Amino acid sequence: FKTLKLQAGLVQNPFADIPAMELDTQSREAFTRDELKAICAKATGDWRYLVGIGIYTGLRLTDALHLKWEDITDVIRVVPAKVRRRKKGNGKVVEIMIHPVLNALLSELRRVRGGSLTGHLFPALVKEYARDRTAASVAFGKLLRDECGISTTAEIEEGSQRKRRANVRGFHSLRHSFVSMCAEGGVPLTTIKDIVGHSTATMTAYYAHAKDDEKRQAINLLPSGFFDPVG
C-alpha cells in the first residue's frame, strides 16, 4: 500500500497504524572504529549530529531524529518509540548521560539553530519521516555506500542450498557499535542494559557479540576521536 499509494490514488493506507510482527531478521553488524571515523568525517548537515547521537547514546534512528530540546538537560531522557508502540515497560524513561563530544556537538547544533530552542532537534527530518518512514534509513544507507565506501549488504546463507543478500549495515549498526564499545571498555552488562533500554541482560549480550555514576562512567569510557574537533 505504501509503494502503490500515489499510483493508485489512495488517500490513506489502512494498514499504516498496524505494528509489524516480530521477525527473525539478520542482525546488524557493528562498525569498526575506522569506519566510524569515516562516517563522522563525511556526515554533513543534520546527519553530523544524528551520527553523533547514534554513536554516543545508542538510540535507534526513530528515537534519535525525534529528539526534542526539552528531552536534553544534563542527561537525555526519552521513552523509546518501541516501548510506546507496544505499551510495554510502563513507558519507562531511558536516561543517557551525555558524552563530552556529544555535548560539544549539541552546543554546536544550538548555535546552528540560533540559540536556545524548543521542539524537535531535526524538524525537517521529522516532517520527512511523517511522509515516508523509510526515507532517513535510505539516506543513511546512501551516505555509507556513496560517501564512505561502506558496503551495507552481505550474502547470507539460508540452509545448505540457498543464499540471499541482506542489509547488515545501517543506522542501527551505530547502536551495536555503542554497545560493543561499552562492552570493550569493561562496562557491566546491567549498566549497558539500563543505558540502552533493553529489557534483559540477555538482549544486551546479544548486541555485544545502575546507578547514575556508573552510567556516566560508562559513557565517558567511549572513545572521543571520531569527529574533528567540535565546539
Cell of 226: 571520531
The DSSP result for 98-166, as a single string, is PPHHHHHHHHHHHHHHTSS--SBS-HHHHHHHHH-TTHHHHHHHHIIIIIT----EEEEEETTTEEEEE
Tens-place pLDDT, residues 51-109: 999 999 999 999 999 999 999 999 999 988 876 766 554 557 888 889 999 999 999 99
pLDDT band at residue 25 under the 50/70/90 scheme? very low
Q: What is the maximal distance between C-alpha atoms in the chain?
A: 58
Tens-place pLDDT, residues 26-59: 467 899 999 999 999 999 999 999 999 999 999 9
119: pLDDT strictly greater than 80 = yes
What residues have CB less than 8 Å from 132, skipping those under 6 apart?
Answer: 2
Query: According to DSSP H, which parts of the chain are helical?
Result: 5-8, 33-42, 46-57, 61-65, 81-86, 100-113, 123-131, 135-142, 172-184, 189-196, 201-207, 212-220
